[in-house]
Every structure is written in structure tokens, then in C-alpha cells.
Amino acid sequence: MTSSAENDGGLLLEMRGLRIEGQADEEWQEIVKGVDVVLNRGEVLGLIGESGAGKSTIGLAAMAFARPGCRISGGSIVFDGMDLMAMSERERRKLRGVRISYVAQSAAASFNPAHKLIDQFAEGPVEHGVRNRAEAEADAKDLYKRLLLPDPDNIGYRYPHQVSGGQLQRAMTAMAMACRPDLIIFDEPTTALDVTTQIEVLATIRNIVEQFNTAAIYITHDLAVVAQMADRIMVLRYGELVEENDTANMMSAPQEDYTKTLWAVRTFKKQSEIYDTSTTPLVAVDHVTAAYGPLTVLHDISFDIYEGQTVAVVGESGSGKSTAARVITGLLPPKQGQVLVKGEALPGDYRRRSKEQLRHAQMIYQMADTAINPKQRIREIIGRPLQFYLGLSGRDLEEKIKELLEMIELEPNQFIDRFPGELSGGQKQRICIARAMAAEPEFIICDEVTSALDQIVAEGILRLLDRLQRELGLSYMFITHDLATVRAIADEVIVMLQGKIVEHGPKDEMFTPPHHEYTDLLLSSVPEMDPNWLDELMERRAQEGVMQSTSSS
């Protein structure tokens, strides 16, 4: 494997033949199987891989730390000439937080709820004797300012639950910086954030790492993000290294098949069509206002979905896009307005809809894990709608189930008697699709159906949905926050913000400027594979002054 990491500064961290075991069901199993990690001063290394690749475990091992139920079983960890494995726990503690520090995925859970932010900031430098309390406080305010936190002089005196997620993540980065470490481990620091918030956190993290010339290990599953952050990338799978190269080479010329499949993801694009809007729409959402108790979450929205059409509804968390789906399915009866199918108004509450009305609209969920009953066999999961709606039984039922399995590209005899626990994430999602198809619907709501899946698997799901649409003439409502998915599958796009539709139109129109200010922000915030994308974007935004308008997030 080539390594172009022979740049300035010299060697900082060297882990050789790293082996880590985890305890499962009273037995130790290897979860990291002999990985080498080498890092120079001031260098940013990206670790990328799917869940279960062992990337967080490797990141923590750089601090010679293993989570409870894990142990470092082999290999060497040398940091700045010191052999961490040979050190006592006491000596390691003196390094942690001082020379190597850590930024966790969930800032909200990783701050102690009982203490103010600045107390938790000062704790490290004061306890380690790096600074006294007053110096630490002054430093905190300086770092908060550099990280573009609002009101940097006072924000530290708040408790964690009084601060938003994006701000908390930056406060944690400041905390990691408190002793000016040589190395920071970033463990998926933006995964829990919305795209428009993520972008600011990414930019400030990168900025501060550069300012202090800190080396970093940046762990993520998002390729486009790692491309912005890292100098060098390691691709991991099942606890082993797949490929390693500097970012530019890695992005332009991946060598291994697995890496190529990761890279090849965003090729699928459906031909979007323009629909005749003079006919009666299949589904019409007509001036709907909906609320959870006193909190109104949808304000007078209207849109139509035509036969065979795919309408993508995009927006961030809290935009009301999932609520719109709940209104259409009847889980949340609207306060005002109505939902019409082929011009006929549906009862607001699903319990008052007829079997036939229910059959017409099916739903596919984000988390296939929780969308199918783990205690039922595939036969029962797919068979139930066939029994329930179509009254099939016996041989007819069996044949139809197999037909559906064939349709979703799973070998019928191999899968029909399995439990969901014996399937992969992508296969589970295919089962969900089959269950929806079993009802022979005309309209399917897809709620973030690909966002929990690894990208290559997601691609397969999108292709399958597209094929089924063409074969069966289905209409889709695609709820997503991922614009790449929108690009791939939508005919029409609806952009939502705070319960309102801010923009609505054919896909090609939406992706060509000029568009609504928020659409612009949303579109431009989606990370792209180009390693220079973040720089260029920040430059452009700095000129336009977009940053200020959202830095309260």
C-alpha cells in the first residue's frame, strides 16, 4: 500500500499490527485484525468504513483506550516515541486530554449534564496542571470565538442542555483543544447533525486544526466528508485495511474493488419526466394544516402527485416532511384541509378508512430493522398483506410470496423461511419493499428508505424501486434529506422549511439556479466528493455573508 505521508513534522503516531478483541456472548472475538496506522505531525488521517468496520475502536486505540468489553490484544502503539502499551495506566492518563484528545459523536451525551460547559473545558488543563483556572477560562473564550460560537464570552456558563447540537459539537472541539494536543481523534463528529449545521462544524473544525497544526484522525462513514477533512484516507472493512492512499489519489483512482464500489455509488440517475398536470392527480394534499397538540408543524401546505410520478420532499429535521407523510397515511389527522385520492377525499383518521383505501397507499420506512417484526419469518411478513387484502391462502399464497421475493431479487427458497435477524440491512429493506408491493398499491411513501444503508446497498435499493415503478406504474413520495438521492430518483422536488413549502418544481429546474435562498443553502451544504469543495464553498459564502444567518443553529 502506498503511503504519501512522508511530509513535514516527522512521525507522531505509529500503530503496528493492531489487534483488538470484543466480548460477545462470553467469547472474545477479534474486531480489529492487525491494522497498521501511521500518522505524522500536523497530518489529518481519514478512517472510513461501514458500521462494524472497527474504525472507532481503532481511533480509541490511538489513546491506548479500549471500551468496556473490548481489549487490545496485540500490536504496538507508539506515540511520539513513547510505547503506550508498555506504559502504566497512570502514565497514559497523563497523555490523554493533554497530548491526545477526543471528540465524540454525540456531544449531547458526552458532556456531563451536571456541569457548565466552561467547567468541563477547564477541568482538563487545570487537573493536568497545564493552566490555572483563570487562564483556562480566558482560553476557552478565545477558542469559542475561533470556533464561531455565538456570544463566546458567555456561552461557556451555560449547561449542556441549554445549547444546540451544532454548538455543543463545537464546544467539544474547543474542549479537545484545551491543552493544545498533538493529536485529536474526531469520531463521527457531524453524523448526528443536519446538513446545513454539519457544514459549519466541518469548516470550523478544519480551520482550528490548521491554525494549531494539530494532527487528527477523522472517523466517518461519509466519503464526501472525509474528502474535505483528510490528507490521507484509510478504507476499513471488517476490522481490516482495504486500501490506503492520500486523498487526491484515493478519490481519483481507487484500486480495490470494495473501494471502487463505494466510490461508484452516485452514478444512478433516473430520467425525469414532465407530467401532464391537467388530469386528476393520484394523490392531492389540499391546504393541510397539522399540529401535535398546540404545536403546529404543517402550515397550509398543498401539493399533487400524479400517476407514475416520483415526488421528493426534502428538508432538515423539523421541516415537517415526515409529518406530511403521517397526514397522508392518516396517522395524524389534519386540523384543516384534506387529502384526496383520485379526487375523492379520504377520512383524516386511518381508522376510518376502508381496507381498500388503506391498501392503495403503502409505506416503506427508514429503519428496516424496526419496520419488520423480528419474530416473524419472511413468509409471514410478506404473506400477511396477501392474506389480509387479497384473501390468498395455501398454494396461491406460497406462489405469490415467491414471486414477490423474485421481484426484489432474493432467491425465494433460500429466504422464505428466514427470520429478519438472518438478513443484512439491504435485504431487510428489500423485504419491506416486497411487503409494500404485496398490497398491490398505486402509491408508496418512502421515508428516508436509503439513509440507514451503506451507500452501495442504497444504490441497489434505488435501482429496484425505479424498476418497479416502471414495471408497475407506481407513484412515489420520497422523503429524504439527502440531495444525492433526490438527484437520482425524483421527477419533482418539494423543499420544506419549518412546516412550509419554500420551493416546488420539476427536478431539473430545482437543481439549476436561481432558487430560493434556503434551497440554495441546502443544496450547497451537501458535501461533494471533490476535495476542494469545502474551501470553495466557504470562500463563496464568506463573500456572500451566508454564514452569519445560520450560525445560531
Partner 1 sequence: MTDKYESTVGQTADAVAPPPPHERRLSDAWKALKKAPLSAKIGIIVILIYVFIALFAPLLTPYGESEVVGAEFEPWGEGYLLGTDNLGRDMLTRLFYGARNTIGIAFVTTVLAFLIGGISGVLAATLGGWMDQLFSRIVDVLMAIPALIFALLLLTIFGTSIPVLVLVIAVLDSTRVYRLARAVSLNVVVMDFVEAARLRGEGMGWITLKEVLPNIMPPLVAEFGLRFCFVFLTIAALSFLGLGLQPPTADWGSMVRDNATLITYGDITPLIPAAAIALLTVAVNFVVDWFLHKTSGLRDDQ
Partner 2 sequence: MFKLLKIVLQRLGLGVLVLFIISVIIAGAVELLPGDLCQELQGQSATKETVAACRKELGLDKPVYHRYFVWLGNMLKGDFGVSLANGRQISELIGDRTANTFFLAIYAAIISVPLAVALGILAALHRNSIYDRVVNIVTLSSISFPEFFVAYILIIFFSVNLGWFPSLSNITPDTPLTEKMYKAFLPALTLTLVVVAHMMRMTRASIINLLASPYIEMANLKGMTRRHIITKHALPNAWAPIVNVIVINLAYLIVGVVVVEVVFVYPGLGQLIVDSVAKRDIPVVQACCVIFAATYIILNLTADILSIITNPRLLHPR
Query: Binding to partner 1 by residue 470, rule CB under 8 A?
Result: yes
Q: How does DSSP classify residue 290?
A: E
Minimum CB separation of residue 436 from partner 1 in Å reads 9
Helix (H) or strand (E) holding 245: strand 240-246
Contact stretch for partner 1 (CB under 8 A) within 1-9, 240-248, 302-310, 325-333: 325-333
Q: Which of partner 1, partner 2, none does residue 425 bind to, with CB < 5 to 8 Å depending on kind? A: partner 1
Query: Binding to partner 1 by residue 370, rule CB under 8 A?
Result: yes
Tell me how crowded residue 268 is: count the other CB atoms within 10 A of its CB: 17
Q: Are 525 and 481 in contact (CB under 8 A)?
A: no
Tell me how crowded residue 541 is: count the other CB atoms within 10 A of its CB: 20
Among 73, 76, 110, 272, binds partner 2 (CB under 8 A): 110
Task: Give the whole-angstrom CA distance, residue 8 versus residue 5.
Answer: 9
Mind giving me the DSSP string for 208-236? HHHHTT-EEEEEES-HHHHHHH-SEEEEE
Minimum CB separation of residue 85 from partner 2 in Å reads 17
Q: Are 409 and 325 in contact (CB under 8 A)?
A: no
C-alpha cell at 94: 497523563
Q: Which of partner 2, partner 1, none does residue 94 bind to, with CB < 5 to 8 Å depending on kind? A: partner 2
Task: Give the whole-angstrom CA distance, residue 347 versus residue 357.
Answer: 10
Query: Binding to partner 2 by residue 112, rule CB under 8 A?
Result: yes
Q: Which of partner 2, partner 1, none does residue 110 bind to, with CB < 5 to 8 Å depending on kind? A: partner 2
Helix axes 394-407, 425-438, angle to 10 degrees: 130
Query: Binding to partner 2 by residue 140, rule CB under 8 A?
Result: no
Contact stretch for partner 2 (CB under 8 A) within 48-56, 119-127, 280-288, 490-498: 119-127
Q: Which of partner 1, partner 2, none does residue 471 bind to, with CB < 5 to 8 Å depending on kind? A: partner 1
Task: Give the whole-angstrom CA distance, residue 303 versus residue 272.
Answer: 18
Among 42, 57, 111, 156, binds partner 2 (CB under 8 A): 111
Longest CA pairwise span in the chain (Å): 79
Query: Binding to partner 1 by residue 459, rule CB under 8 A?
Result: yes
Beta-bridge mates of residue 37? 15
Which residue number, 67 or 269, has a Cβ lying nearer to partner 2?
Answer: 67
Contact stretch for partner 1 (CB under 8 A) within 60-68, 309-317, 393-401, 418-426: 418-426
Write each residue from 65 to 104 as x if it is in contact with partner 2 (CB under 8 A), else as -, in one continuous string: x-xx-----------------------xxxxxxx--xx-x
Among 109, 274, 331, 345, binds partner 2 (CB under 8 A): 109
Contact stretch for partner 1 (CB under 8 A) within 81-89, 324-332, 392-400, 522-530: 324-332
Tell me how crowded residue 403 is: count the other CB atoms within 10 A of its CB: 14
Minimum CB separation of residue 255 from partner 1 in Å reads 17
Q: Are 223 and 250 in contact (CB under 8 A)?
A: no
Write each residue from 375 to 404 as x if it is in contact with partner 1 (CB under 8 A), else as -, in one continuous string: xx-------xx--xx---------------
Among 9, 10, 17, 374, binds partner 1 (CB under 8 A): 374
Q: Which of partner 2, partner 1, none does residue 373 bind to, with CB < 5 to 8 Å depending on kind? A: partner 1
Among 6, 88, 114, 277, binds partner 2 (CB under 8 A): 114
Tell me how far apart the terminal alpha carbons of the chain are, to the nearest angstrom.
Answer: 41
Helix axes 425-438, 378-390, angle to 10 degrees: 10
Q: Distance of CA 481 to CAs 88, 165, 305, 326, 488, Å? A: 47, 18, 19, 17, 13
Q: Are 242 and 59 in contact (CB under 8 A)?
A: no
Task: Give the whole-angstrom CA distance, residue 499 versus residue 290.
Answer: 9
Query: Binding to partner 2 by residue 295, rule CB under 8 A?
Result: no
**Number of residues binding to partner 1, judged by CB under 8 A:** 51
Contact stretch for partner 2 (CB under 8 A) within 64-72, 234-242, 345-353, 421-429: 64-72
Among 134, 264, 345, 542, binds partner 1 (CB under 8 A): 264
Minimum CB separation of residue 107 from partner 2 in Å reads 9
Task: Give the whole-angstrom CA distance, residue 215 versus residue 232.
Answer: 12
Query: Binding to partner 2 by residue 467, rule CB under 8 A?
Result: no
Which residue number, 122 or 242, has a Cβ lying nearer to partner 2?
Answer: 122
Q: Are 263 and 254 in contact (CB under 8 A)?
A: yes
Burial of residue 311 (number of CB atoms within 10 Å: 0-12, 13-18, 19+): buried
Q: Which of partner 1, partner 2, none does residue 162 bind to, with CB < 5 to 8 Å depending on kind? A: partner 2
Among 456, 472, 502, 547, binds partner 1 (CB under 8 A): 456
Which residue number, 211 or 370, has a Cβ lying nearer to partner 1?
Answer: 370
Q: 188 in the Ramachandran plot: left (φ > 0), alpha (ψ -120 to 50) or beta?
A: left
Query: Binding to partner 2 by residue 124, rule CB under 8 A?
Result: yes
Among 1, 24, 109, 138, binds partner 1 (CB under 8 A): 24
Which residue number, 88 or 271, has a Cβ lying nearer to partner 2?
Answer: 88
Q: Which residues contact 281 (CB under 8 A, 6 or more apart)?
A: 304, 305, 306, 340
Q: Which of partner 1, partner 2, none does residue 424 bind to, with CB < 5 to 8 Å depending on kind? A: partner 1
Helix axes 165-177, 195-211, angle to 10 degrees: 10
The three-class DSSP label of residue 553 is coil
Q: Which of partner 1, partner 2, none does residue 541 bind to, with CB < 5 to 8 Å depending on kind? A: none
Q: Are 217 and 45 in contact (CB under 8 A)?
A: yes
Q: How does DSSP classify residue 141?
A: H
Query: Binding to partner 1 by residue 421, rule CB under 8 A?
Result: yes
Query: Binding to partner 2 by residue 63, rule CB under 8 A?
Result: yes
Q: Which residues contact 517 (CB under 8 A, 6 or more apart)?
A: none
Residues at the site binding partner 1, with contacts judged by CB under 8 A: 24-26, 261, 264, 329-331, 350, 353, 355, 358, 363, 365, 367, 370-376, 384-385, 388-389, 406, 409, 414, 417-418, 421-427, 435, 439, 454, 456-457, 459-461, 463-464, 467, 470-471
